[in-house]
Structure 1
Amino acid sequence: MTRPADDSPHVLVVEDNPGDVRLIREAFAESHLDSSLAVATDGEAALDYLHGRDAERPDLVTLDLNVPRVDGNEVLEAVKTTPDLASIPVVVLSSSSSREDIEETRELAANSYFVKPVDPAAFISLVRRFVETFAAVGRLPLGEYETPVE
């Protein structure tokens, strides 16, 4: 399903690293996708945002696993087990390439898992690729889920 061109996606970025937030913003800007980003710097703030009555429901959540107060897996589980939120696509952006982390997020129903590249240009390119794919076809690339998890 192709998203209408005038349908500006709203994205919740759950990330405590200001540098990564800046790179994610750059990736969205480079994608030329008219979108709005809200940032939660910890898991508790993310859950407050998602359950807030006045907050705009995101079309997409990018989620770092290692955030303070409530970790990313707990946020993911809360999103995917809450009927009003379960349909929101969640992309995990993590520095961990651990098979255990990848498998746990798959079991918690994340839509995609990507290991954050260390190189800023590669990080921006990765985020831009999944954002553009999501905008064009309404689905996310699988990332690490494309590799069989043993």
Structure 2
Amino acid sequence: MTDAEHVTGHIDILLVEDNPGDVRLTELALEEVGISHDLQVVKDGKAAVERLRGSESDPGPDLVLLDLDLPRLHGTEVLEELKSDPELRRLPVIVLTSSTADADVRASYDRHANAYVEKPADVDDFVEVARQIERFWLSTVRLPP
């Protein structure tokens, strides 16, 4: 079975990332794995919160990939905002960051991140991370409606 055949459906992803290189790397990895997706990108934490609290007619994403080191609102502050909002707290948030600091890991989980993943620098390793996200979050787990 190929990775593309393994995908069980379509997913809307919000990527909160201010580094254009990491945005492109994420796009390439998702395409390489064959995930059927729509990817929206916001470049700062405040824009992420505003996007997620958008209009009632917009169902929002199925999954958030969140960097920590963001302008205007740090990723941990974004987590606080989302997980304290009854309408947004069920939304799965994967912290996808280059930080290896134990304090960042603790702070993310203290604010109810669903997962903490360190961004690999190597393209092939990044594709493998996307493959693992697909296998677990899109094929194994049942996401909230």
TM-score range (shorter-chain normalised) is 0.7 to 0.9
Structure 1, unaligned runs of 5 or more = 141-150
User: What residue in structure 1 maps to residue 125 of structure 2?
Assistant: 122
1:55 deviates by 3.7
Map 1:98-113 onto structure 2 (within 5 A). 98-113=101-116
> Is the 8 Å Cα contact of residues 95 and 116 (structure 1) preserved in structure 2?
yes
Question: With structure 1 as the length reference, what TM-score do the two structures score?
Answer: 0.84
Once residues 139 and 114 of structure 1 are traced to their aligned partners in structure 2, the CA distance between those partners, rounded to angstroms, is: 20
Once residues 52 and 102 of structure 1 are traced to their aligned partners in structure 2, the CA distance between those partners, rounded to angstroms, is: 28
Q: Number of matched residues?
A: 136
- 2:28 is paired with a residue whose SS is helix
- 2:23 is paired with a residue whose SS is helix
Could you list the runs of 4 or more consecutive aligned residues of structure 1 that deviate by over 6 angstroms after TM superposition?
none
Once residues 17 and 81 of structure 1 are traced to their aligned partners in structure 2, the CA distance between those partners, rounded to angstroms, is: 27
User: What residue in structure 2 maps to residue 85 of structure 1?
Assistant: 88
Structure 2, unaligned runs of 5 or more = 1-6
Question: With structure 2 as the length reference, what TM-score do the two structures score?
Answer: 0.87
Amino acid at match of 2:116: Y
1:139 deviates by 6.4
The percent of aligned pairs where both chains have the same amino acid is 40
1:124 deviates by 2.3
Cα RMSD, aligned residues only: 1.8
Which deviations, in whole Å up to 9, do the C-alpha atoms of 1:84-138 show, x marking residues without a partner?
Answer: 1100110001111111110111110001001111212212221232123211112
> Is the 8 Å Cα contact of residues 133 and 139 (structure 1) preserved in structure 2?
no
